[in-house]
Amino acid sequence: MSDFAFSCDKACNAQIVGWLNTLSSLRRLSSKSVEAYQRDLSQFITFLSEHRGELVTLKVLQDLRPLDARAFMAMRRNKGIGTRSLARQISALRNFFTHLQRQDLISNQVFHLLKSPKIPRALPKALTPQEALKTISTTNDLEATPWIAARDMAVLSLCYGAGLRIAEALSIRGADLGTSSLRVTGKGGKTRLVPLIDNVQECIQTYVKTSPFKLASHEPIFRGVRGGVLSPRLIQKRMVQLRSALGLPPSASPHALRHSFATHLLGNGGDLRTIQELLGHASLSSTQIYTDINSAHLLAEFQKAHPRA
């Protein structure tokens, strides 16, 4: 837990620590998510202490009025916070107040009654199948060192061929590799099994055979030129080179390959629940955005092809 100061008494601070521990241990949120929730609550407690002119206690939280909550939102808006960040902050405060209610300490529903700002839903930008495959194969043309070319091809193949996040691909250990599947540790430390198609397996095997480093089974297999764990920044730089070489849009990134994986599966009849499992989404609603992408693609094709469009 990061070191944040809370303008509240000991009883309130103890509940904050308990809540953060619950997020980490029981809900298994990632350390970055817990830190974001902690920061959100710290900002609110600081505001409330200044707004009310007193130390925040459980009684102060019980007596919190909708006017106080709106004043906090207005203050955050005036500081230029984005809609998505503000919605997350309200979600964090709702979660904390729910925690206090479950402990029978307060019964204030002020943040549950508050309407969250509407977040515009941006569709992920996927590459075409031809662009995705060309992106991976062109890596050989841009890199003179065979093992580095094989490494980058393997990482990008995992993003497109297995739908991995870049962090998931770079954290793969030798022990995670099966004969035809891969054990992936995703967000919140959750693990899932992902099948590996032949092309992806071949890319990984080529890299492992050509790597100049001894790859221990308990360590990440992807290495930098000095033998350290490969940085995501190097793969992102490779994608910048590939965008320039292939004339791809700025949205073409390692994560765009993951979006392409899901979009192409769905477009070829893939089941939404199965795609959810492959991507490691905790909620189906996160996966359902790909149905919007598919619909948008179908509409675009219709408008290009129909004589009356």
173: phi then psi, degrees, rounded to nearest 5 = -105, 165
- Distant-in-sequence, close-in-space partners of 83: CB < 8 Å, separation ≥ 6: 117, 118, 119, 120
- Distant-in-sequence, close-in-space partners of 258: CB < 8 Å, separation ≥ 6: 159, 160, 163, 164, 165, 279
Q: Would you give the end-to-end CA distance of the chain in angstroms?
A: 56
Distance (Å, whole) CA 26 – CA 140: 45
Distance (Å, whole) CA 154 – CA 157: 5
The catalytically annotated residue of 39, 134, 243, 255 is: 255
The catalytically annotated residue of 165, 238, 259, 264 is: 165
The catalytically annotated residue of 238, 258, 259, 264 is: 258
243 has catalytic annotation: no
255 has catalytic annotation: yes
**Which amino acid makes up residue 24?**
S
Distance (Å, whole) CA 173 – CA 114: 45
59 has catalytic annotation: no
* Tokens standing for residue 42: 């710290």
User: Secondary structure of 103-169 in the HEC alphabet?
Assistant: CCCCCCCHHHHCCCCCCCCCCCCCCCHHHHHHHHHCHHHHCCCHHHHHHHHHHHHHHHHCCCCHHHH
165 has catalytic annotation: yes
The catalytically annotated residue of 94, 125, 187, 297 is: 187
The catalytically annotated residue of 28, 134, 281, 297 is: 281
- Distant-in-sequence, close-in-space partners of 266: CB < 8 Å, separation ≥ 6: 272, 275, 290, 291, 293, 294
Catalytic residue IDs: 165, 187, 255, 258, 281, 290
